[in-house]
Structure 1
Amino acid sequence: MHDIRSIRDNPAAFDAGLARRGVEPLSPRILELDQERRACQTQAQELQARRNEASKLIGAYKKEGKDAQPLLDEVAAIKEKMPQLEEREKELGAELDRILASYPNIPAPDVPDGKDEHDNVEIRRVGTPTEIVGAKQHFELGEALGLMSFDLAAKLSGARFTVLRGQLARLERALGDFMLDIHTTEYGYEEVSPPLLVKDDAAFGTGQLPKFTEDLFQTTNGFWLIPTAEVPLTNLVNDAILDAEELPLRLTARTPCFRSEAGSAGRDTRGMIRQHQFYKVEMVSITRPDQSAAEHERMTDAAETVLKRLGLPFRTVTLCSGDMGFTAQKTYDIEVWLPGQAAYREISSCSNCGDFQARRMKARFRAKGEKSTQFVHTLNGSGTAVGRCLIAVLENYQQPDGSILIPDALRPYMGGLERIALNG
């Protein structure tokens, strides 16, 4: 959500920000609604002042024996007019909010301009891409081990689901535990076990609704299955006023995530890259405005640490203005190397949303000794996508005989197991 006052004061700057995202300029209707709503507010204030003045005069007229009926009639008319103005102001405000909610966040000044992923800017590369002659993709490896089945999942649920069994199921669990341990013990995130179903307000607060309705799954009684733990974690401060001393607030969770993958027909149809259900470890930070830029770097470092400890080659890119998500003002994507595809693929996305989500959620903080409040800044990042990390481990640690070496960092989580092999 955007601040209507800043738009009113400098609509050209807002249009320039939208243009960087490839979005059409500001609708004139926004400023018209704002002007009409403020006119209603002004008229209501003037009428209330006149009502107070007339009420005092009525008492004086009665004491002096003057005819107060005209004043009584005026007060009655004002009393009748006030609710109409209040209702009209609410209608205008609701329409204004509806239109404002459809506009994406404005890119930060240091975000590179561009149209799509081809214009993203690589800022660092860690590790050398693994070279494996005849490298297989994860689904070939998993199916050959007899521990990954898409056919069984299709019988149960249809396409874009997976059944993992035995040591692959354990490896998925181990990866999630490993990530949570890093984020909680080394980076100070508090582990949370949140609901997986949320109401409309929560999905609206983090920007999933109304724009991305088709990307979500909804129950028959109106709940939404979370597409990421960002939704419940960020909404823990919905409509809250925090003390400045509490910030930054850092939260993490491992949850199943559910996405309809609307519009992705034909993309990554084989394997686990793009699923309707998957596990992800999410990080969320709630900060003061002056903390969020540094927190963004810190959060990205936490996600990168997971990959470094696992010995997985990766690169980090700054998304260009045209490739960022709806709520982000700046995003770093971390892309892990997959030998089976001979390509880097996204495994984490860390975004600073500024006060965009906070305005939708009415999430604020108050500095010590001050009466006024300010909107917090919110950040979110994958720390990381567990399924995609499983894919990366399978492909980077595959052996000529089809077995999979277990990275040293994961062996304590796997009971000391060093290798996953057929019938192993």
Structure 2
Amino acid sequence: MHDIRAIRENPAAFDAALARRGDDAMSSSLLELDEARRAKILAAETAQAEQNKAAKAIGAAKAKGDEAEFERLRAEVSAKKAEVAAMQAEAKELDAKLTDQLARIPNLPADDVPEGADEDDNVEVNRWGTPRELTFAPKEHFEIPAVAAAMDFETAVKTSGSRFVNLTKGVARIHRALAQFMLDTHVDKNGLTETQTPVLVRDEAMYGTDKLPKFGDDSYQTTNGWWLIPTSEVTLTYSVAGDILDEGELPRRMTAHTACFRSEAGSAGKDTSGMLRQHQFEKVEMVSVTHPDKSDDEQKRMLRCAEDLLEQLGIPYRTVVLCTGDMGFGARRTFDIEAWLPGQDTYREISSVSTTGDFQARRMNARFKPADGGKPQFVHTLNGSGLAVGRCLIAVLENGQNEDGTVTLPEVLAPYLGGKSILQLDGSLA
């Protein structure tokens, strides 16, 4: 959510920042609506004062026995009362209209975000690891014999339709091991607080984390009004909604492993093979709530937490900073980590780490009380995948594939797999 006062103070800067995202100027229409709203509020307050003045005069007229003046003033008060109510209703309607328009405008990019139109203009900032030189033609995850024996799309289609999968045998266990490994690392090494959150949330939680009103079609809503979370960013971030935290409580760092649900309304026909893009998937999420002065450093820390997981797993990756035209709606800066997938002969996104500044905090009124006793300020919120479990599974399987159709698994997973390190041709572990 944008601060209308900041737009009033520097409309040109607001429009320039939107232009970097490829959006049209909006300050003029917003300020016109804001002016009409403020004028109506002032008119209502003026009429209210006149009503109060006339109401006080009624008593004096009655004391003097001036019946005519008494009736005139009473009629005036009645008329002013109706006028005030009408003006207040109009002001409320204009306020709701302004709030709705502000809620549909994307966050402004940070000054250091590179300009660009789409993913082709993203800028690589880091690369780790060297892809294996294979002596055979690499397969995509679902084509690897050992994986195909334990990755069942047909049954999932029978029960749920396309873009669902049943994982069985060793593949199911590897998937579970990955999530456990991620959580343990975040809790024991990175200092995040583990949270088990609901996957059903109310409108307010989706709105406060910028998923509504603009992106309702990308999520699933139940018949009784709850929303299935697209990621636990929603539940973790919204946990501070309406709060005034002590500055000493910051940063608040959280992690959660949940099922996630996305309709993929804007992704028809993309990545339909295998389990790269599913309607239901699992993710280990990281969320930080920070002091505004610390949010940029916190984003770098979160990025390293995600990158370190891939390094422990031995998965080559590259990190890019998204350009202005490729950033998500609520982000002011985003780093994507892309894992190497030999079956596709390319890097694919496995984590996004974003800072939203105070964009979400304003929507959900999340603030902190400065240690020096100043007035409450909005916190900054950040979120990042640490990591997408299904996509990490794909990366592990493809990078560990062998010519005989088996898969060699990362050593770091051995404690979670009973010491086993090979996915065999029948889908079992050895």
Give TM-score, length-normalised by structure 2. Answer: 0.94
Q: Please list the CA deviations of residues 285-327 of structure 1 after superposition, one character each: whole Å capped at 9, or x if unmatched.
A: 1112111111111111111111011111111100000000000
Q: Does 1:153 align with 2:175?
A: no
- Provide the rounded CA distance (Å) in 2 between the counterparts of 1:257 and 1:100: 27
Q: Does 1:269 align with 2:272?
A: yes
State the shift of 1:407 in Å: 0.8
Aligned to 1:102: 104
Q: Does 1:376 align with 2:379?
A: yes
Aligned match for 1:125, one of 127, 130, 133: 127
Q: Does 1:317 align with 2:320?
A: yes
Q: 3-state DSSP class of the match of 2:293?
A: coil
- Provide the rounded CA distance (Å) in 2 between the counterparts of 1:144 and 1:376: 45
User: AA paired with 1:23?
Assistant: D
Distance 1:369 1:55, change over 3 A: farther
Q: Give the number of aligned pairs.
A: 424
State the shift of 1:58 in Å: 5.1
- Provide the rounded CA distance (Å) in 2 between the counterparts of 1:408 and 1:333: 25
User: AA paired with 2:214?
Assistant: K
User: AA paired with 1:92?
Assistant: L
Q: Please list the CA deviations of residues 187-214 of structure 1 after superposition, one character each: whole Å capped at 9, or x if unmatched.
A: 2211111111111111111111121122
Distance 1:134 1:257, change over 3 A: same
State the shift of 1:371 in Å: 6.1
The answer to whether the 8 A contact 1:206-1:360 is kept is yes
Aligned to 2:94: 92
Alignment of 1:198-347 (within 5 A): 198-347=201-350
Where in structure 1 are there 5+ consecutive unaligned residues?
Answer: none
Distance 1:79 1:145, change over 3 A: closer
Aligned to 2:84: 82
Where in structure 2 are there 5+ consecutive unaligned residues?
Answer: none
- Which shows bigger deviation, 16-25 or 237-246? 237-246
Aligned match for 2:184, one of 167, 181, 193: 181
Q: Please list the CA deviations of residues 211-233 of structure 1 after superposition, one character each: whole Å capped at 9, or x if unmatched.
A: 11221112122211111111111
Q: Does 1:36 align with 2:36?
A: yes
State the shift of 1:145 in Å: 4.9
Aligned to 2:193: 190
Q: Does 1:45 align with 2:48?
A: no
Q: 3-state DSSP class of the match of 1:390?
A: helix
State the shift of 1:73 in Å: 4.3
User: AA paired with 2:121?
Assistant: D
State the shift of 1:346 in Å: 0.3
User: AA paired with 2:367?
Assistant: R
- Which shows bigger deviation, 265-274 or 302-311? 265-274
The answer to whether the 8 A contact 1:363-1:376 is kept is yes
Identical positions, percent = 56
- Provide the rounded CA distance (Å) in 2 between the counterparts of 1:212 and 1:145: 35
- Which shows bigger deviation, 288-297 or 233-242? 233-242
- Provide the rounded CA distance (Å) in 2 between the counterparts of 1:41 and 1:207: 28
Alignment of 1:36-75 (within 5 A): 36-56=36-56, 69=70, 70-75=72-77
- Which shows bigger deviation, 371-380 or 290-299? 371-380
State the shift of 1:45 in Å: 2.6
Q: 3-state DSSP class of the match of 2:220?
A: coil
- Provide the rounded CA distance (Å) in 1 between the counterparts of 2:116 and 2:151: 39
Alignment of 1:162-173 (within 5 A): 162-173=165-176
- Provide the rounded CA distance (Å) in 2 between the counterparts of 1:314 and 1:332: 13
Q: Please list the CA deviations of residues 24-75 of structure 1 after superposition, one character each: whole Å capped at 9, or x if unmatched.
A: 2216432222111101221233233344445555556666777863554444
The answer to whether the 8 A contact 1:184-1:191 is kept is yes
Q: 3-state DSSP class of the match of 1:324?
A: coil
Q: Please list the CA deviations of residues 151-196 of structure 1 after superposition, one character each: whole Å capped at 9, or x if unmatched.
A: 2211111111111111110100000000011111112211111111
User: AA paired with 2:377?
Assistant: Q
Q: Does 1:137 align with 2:140?
A: yes
The answer to whether the 8 A contact 1:136-1:340 is kept is yes
- Provide the rounded CA distance (Å) in 1 between the counterparts of 2:183 and 2:81: 60
- Which shows bigger deviation, 56-65 or 369-378? 56-65
Q: Please list the CA deviations of residues 361-387 of structure 1 after superposition, one character each: whole Å capped at 9, or x if unmatched.
A: 122222246362221111110000000
Query: RMSD of the alignment, in Å?
Result: 1.9
State the shift of 1:144 in Å: 5.2
- Provide the rounded CA distance (Å) in 2 between the counterparts of 1:71 and 1:10: 46
The answer to whether the 8 A contact 2:146-2:424 is kept is no
Q: 3-state DSSP class of the match of 1:237?
A: coil
Aligned to 1:362: 365
- Provide the rounded CA distance (Å) in 2 between the counterparts of 1:124 and 1:330: 16
Give TM-score, length-normalised by structure 1. Answer: 0.95
The answer to whether the 8 A contact 2:337-2:351 is kept is yes
The answer to whether the 8 A contact 1:129-1:313 is kept is yes
The answer to whether the 8 A contact 1:280-1:386 is kept is yes
Q: 3-state DSSP class of the match of 1:290?
A: helix
User: AA paired with 2:30?
Assistant: I
Aligned to 2:351: 348
- Which shows bigger deviation, 185-194 or 339-348? 185-194
Aligned match for 2:419, one of 391, 416, 419: 416
State the shift of 1:127 in Å: 0.8
The answer to whether the 8 A contact 1:130-1:313 is kept is no
The answer to whether the 8 A contact 1:145-1:421 is kept is no
User: AA paired with 1:111?
Assistant: V
